[in-house]
Amino acid sequence: MAGIILAYYNSLNFFPPWSAFAATAIYLTISVLLPFRVRYNLRFLSGLFLQGIILLAAVKLTRHFDTSGHFAKMFEQQRSHAFVVHLEETPSEKLKTYKSIASVLKTINGDSVSKGSGKLIIYFNKDDFSRHLFVGDILMIFAQTEGVRSSGNPGSFDYASYCLLQGIRYQCFVASKNSILIQHGHGWKVQLDKIRRHICSILERHIRGAKECGLAEALLIGYKDNLDPELVQQYSNTGVVHVIAISGLHLGLLYMICKGVIRIIPFIKRKKWLSAIIIICFLWLFSLLTGGSPSVLRSAVMFTALIAGDRMAKKISMYNCLAASAFLLLCYNPYWLFDIGFQLSYSAVLSILIFMKPLYNTIFYENKLMDMLWQLVSVTLAAQILTTPVSLYHFHRFPNYFLFANLAAVPLSSIILVGEIVLCMTNFFSPAAQLLGMILEWLLKFMNDIIEHINELPYAIVSLIKMNIQQVILLYLMITAITVFLFEKMKKAIFLSFCCLVLFLFIRLKVMYDHSNQAFFIVYNLRGRNLVEIIEGRRSIVVCPTELQLNDYSVLEASHTLYQIKSTRIEKTPSVIHTQNLCFFLLQNRNLSLRSSGKAERKILIVSNNCKDADGTIIGILEPFVVITDATNSAATIKWWRRICFEKGIKIHTVVDKGAFVMKLN
């Protein structure tokens, strides 16, 4: 992990890894020739050198995966030419297009053909050609590539950085007339995709509700294209979104089912290694069927180690299993370290390993039902301890009723998952499948209703929580110190936790002071929307000519979390805004008021709704130092304003291309 972080945040060109490996090999060779007493006294160096080798190997591995510079050079040279690509996934349906990720096999420039590399996001228009594309298909496409862009809205999800961690830097739109299908896909990925689509068709046939069916597909095989966004938000707000993501819970249930089935087959039951191989194969097949996310692969590796150790009658250390699975997954893909699912999965399992038993042992129940309930409570509380800092850092919210939501969602989702497996097995017998589908639909609706009611309870969520990486580190240090005190009774640990708390509060106060003195002007990048905000201290004014929509609120919430805004006022009418010796003019129609508070003010012109200054009156009177075109303008209008600004020597910022316009006012 240290090597990956070093390689990601620092080029380390001053420290060539291979020379360090050579020096280490020389040292180890010489150390063998030294007297035993000298080697024994210097034994700590062996550990240091071993850690150094692992760290440098991680640096080299991460550099090998970071081929974005090569991708950039290749696509810059071949931006408007033909590519032969291999679809890595079946195209998923979006609002106006089908989207897929493809590997570039070859690039074609005239008569020359060169080997390609890297990945590319491809958007196909909706027609019969794109509907019949599947994973593994090889295509020749003629397209113009462009860089993957983020919205640039403050605090919003950085899509470009996310894609870069997946090895994707460019995207393109491909019309059907510019696509040629060279070869249909084949291989194990294609077969898994067929199984996945067959399972989805079974669920869609027997579970009629759209919300319920989408959730059923996500629970069983991790297919999330049909999930209702509002439902996902409710599960996230109540702290049970993990039941949607395929994780150790699902693999654990499958493991128990496999063991139960094998027990009733005498021939397999007596063959310990045969039963172990069958269970491991089923677990890995399920893991690959669900897409092979880091969380489910972590569980697959751990279960494989546990089953193998059990068959060899060896005592397995769960901590070593957890560390080994992380090591193997990061060797496969170092950038999974920055995946939120990877971080939450490992922090949750580590937290359960450390805290679950001590917490469970604090209370004893003779009643089996109460004991099972307390065990579920203990697991839920234990998992929350180490996942909370990561969750707060990434999602900026805390679900207050997470315990009650988990007590309902975890048992119900487990029953539903088992029911879905039985449904797929009994699909050939229509009456039983229809009855089971009705029961599952009712259970899914019942679980959704519970989560919806919990989400609507007062104070269900604490939002707008902003934490920096320093605060996250201090939180983990504080948790570690308190844990050491409780387990080892070390009084010095309490002093360390108190120091961490003081530093945490000091950083928090410093951040709040900075926010109290901030001032920003923002033009948001929202497709087809005109949204402007002025921030002064922890108050803001939002200017929007129409009613705010759901997407507007989500973007504003992300921005308000970043800037810690306490109160917001919404205005619809102003076309002229004065603040901090600046004057902002909103050109939404030709009836723009050209009044300003003084000649000394710097002026900014914001263009909306495809408005143009055909006679040059507005530009001539205002003389703005920058023109901003928001996301309501067409490509032709933006091109027109670029030409005018170039002729007048005025700076221009197009939010569609450059992201949101953010200007500091103090």
pLDDT for 324: 87
User: Does the pLDDT value for residue 51 go beyond 90?
Assistant: no
Nearest to 103 by CA among 61, 148, 141: 141
Question: Residue 477 — very low, low, confident or very high, per pLDDT cuts 50/70/90?
Answer: very high
pLDDT for 18: 64
User: Does the pLDDT value for residue 12 go beyond 80?
Assistant: no
Tens digits of per-residue pLDDT, 118-175?
A: 888 999 988 888 888 998 899 998 888 888 888 889 999 888 888 888 888 889 999 8
User: Does the pLDDT value for residue 74 go beyond 60?
Assistant: no
pLDDT for 597: 45
Mean pLDDT of 588-603: 61
Rounded-to-integer distance, Cα 490 and Cα 594, Å? 71
Q: Where do we find the tokens 């080798």? A: 53
> What is the pTM assigned to this prediction?
0.86
pLDDT for 352: 92
- Direct distance between the N- and C-terminal alpha carbons of the chain, in angstroms, rounded to an integer: 40
Going from the C-alpha of 615 to that of each of 184, 504, 654, the distances in angstroms are 57, 58, 22
DSSP conformational letter for 156: S
Tens digits of per-residue pLDDT, 173-228?
A: 998 888 888 988 888 888 888 888 899 999 999 998 889 999 999 888 888 888 88
- Count CA atoms within 13 Å of residue 124 on its CB side: 26
Rounded-to-integer distance, Cα 657 and Cα 662, Å? 14
Identity (one letter) of the amino acid at 465? I
The tokens for 619 are 């530009």
pLDDT for 70: 47
Report which of residues 261 and 68 the model is more confident about.
Answer: 261
Q: Phi first, then psi: what are they for 88, rounded to 5°?
A: -85, -15
The tokens for 338 are 């920055």
pLDDT for 506: 94
Going from the C-alpha of 242 to that of each of 121, 159, 272, the distances in angstroms are 27, 22, 33
**CB of 545 within 8 A of CB of 445?**
no
**CB of 330 within 8 A of CB of 337?**
yes
Q: Where do we find the tokens 């989400």? A: 455
The tokens for 570 are 């919404």
Mean pLDDT of 64-85: 62
Identity (one letter) of the amino acid at 198? H
pLDDT for 16: 62
Nearest to 75 by CA among 172, 161, 174: 172
DSSP letters spanning 141-152:
EE---EE-----
- Considering the chain, what percentage of its residues have pLDDT values greater than 70? 92
Rounded-to-integer distance, Cα 162 and Cα 152, Å? 13
Identity (one letter) of the amino acid at 576? V
pLDDT for 562: 92
- Longest CA–CA span in the chain (Å) reads 93
Chain length of the chain: 666
pLDDT for 130: 86
Least reliable range by pLDDT among 95-109, 115-129, 475-489, 569-583: 569-583
User: Does the pLDDT value for residue 643 go beyond 60?
Assistant: yes
Q: Using alpha carbons only, give the angle 533, 537, 539 rounded to the nearest 5 degrees.
A: 55
User: Does the pLDDT value for residue 580 go beyond 60?
Assistant: yes
User: Does the pLDDT value for residue 474 go beyond 90?
Assistant: yes
How far is C-alpha 162 from the geometric centre of its chain's CA atoms?
7
**Mean pLDDT, rounded, of the chain:** 85
Q: Using alpha carbons only, give the angle 367, 368, 372 rounded to the nearest 5 degrees.
A: 120
pLDDT for 14: 54
If you average pLDDT over each of 31-45, 363-377, 439-453, 603-617, which comes out highest?
Answer: 439-453
Tens digits of per-residue pLDDT, 254-303?
A: 888 887 777 777 766 667 778 888 888 888 888 888 877 777 888 888 88
Report which of residues 17 and 471 the model is more confident about.
Answer: 471
- Considering the chain, what percentage of its residues have pLDDT values greater than 90? 29
Identity (one letter) of the amino acid at 211? K
Tens digits of per-residue pLDDT, 320-362?
A: 888 888 898 899 889 999 988 889 989 998 999 999 999 999 9
Mean pLDDT of 569-581: 76
pLDDT for 273: 76
Q: Where are the alpha helices (DSSP H) in 459-546?
A: 469-488, 491-516
pLDDT for 246: 75
DSSP conformational letter for 276: H
User: Does the pLDDT value for residue 646 go beyond 50?
Assistant: yes
Rounded-to-integer distance, Cα 563 and Cα 561, Å? 6
Tens digits of per-residue pLDDT, 251-263?
A: 888 888 887 777 7
Mean pLDDT of 109-121: 80
434-471 burial string, b = 16+ CB within 10 Å, else e?
eebbeebbebbeebbebbeebbeeeebbeeeebbeeeb
Listed in sequence order, the residues at least 6 apart from 643 whose beta carbon sits closer than 8 Å to its beta carbon are none
Identity (one letter) of the amino acid at 473? I
pLDDT for 165: 84
Mean pLDDT of 480-490: 91
Q: Which residues pair with 532 in a beta bridge?
A: 523, 543
User: Does the pLDDT value for residue 611 go beyond 60?
Assistant: yes
Listed in sequence order, the residues at least 6 apart from 288 whose beta carbon sits closer than 8 Å to its beta carbon are 188, 192
